[in-house]
Structure 1
């Protein structure tokens, strides 16, 4: 009986972790497209080399380790901002930092592959 309870608890934990990971990435494709079409600043927080190898059209490159030094490039703290990287980790860090200094509408899109198809 104890083994079944333990397996059940592990499954519940796994489901919870997967749910939290999915919801921590922020917006879905439709929400991202709406924000971008509405004039959101799109920021690629990958390295310069990664950015140069391919990026979302119209995105600017501010590597995550430079975000705190380049805050003026983000503009008004009420402006919508979409950040992305390769998988969502660095953009998650950038989102948290930006929110900690007062930016109010920052979305972690996750990785470049999560960005909506440009039309």
Structure 2
């Protein structure tokens, strides 16, 4: 499974790359702030909302510390999706939030 650092994602966001970010934290956690343009699909609902995703796209998975996003990445990969896990999660994110 591929991994990416929060710093690298921040650089990609600054260069205006179109990133597909899925935040798998619970809705209450996301209220404190999420990465720009990230969509929130709590890990427990990911399996039931996979039909909303496009297998032609690459997704960056994010959570608080990297554990839940790792599990989410494994789930999506096992169903044929292209995913990258953000190592360290939002605890290491220093970029903008919304």
Does TM-score exceed 0.5, indicating one fold?
A: yes
Residue deviations 1:92-114 (CA, integer Å, cap 9, x gap): 0000000000012x111131133
Larger RCO (alpha carbons 8 Å, 6+ apart): 2
Return the offset for 1:25: 7.3
Rg (Cα) greater in structure = 1
1:40, 1:79 within 8 Å by CA — same for their partners in 2? Answer: no
Q: Which runs of 5+ in 2 are unaligned?
A: none
Structure with the larger strand share: 2
Pairing 1:6-45 to 2, within 5 Å after superposition: 26-28=3-5, 29-30=7-8, 32=9, 33-34=11-12, 37-45=16-24
* Superposition CA RMSD, Å: 2.2
Structure with the larger helix share: 1
Q: TM-score, normalised by structure 1?
A: 0.67
Q: Which runs of 5+ in 1 are unaligned?
A: 1-23
Distance 1:79 1:52, change over 3 A: same
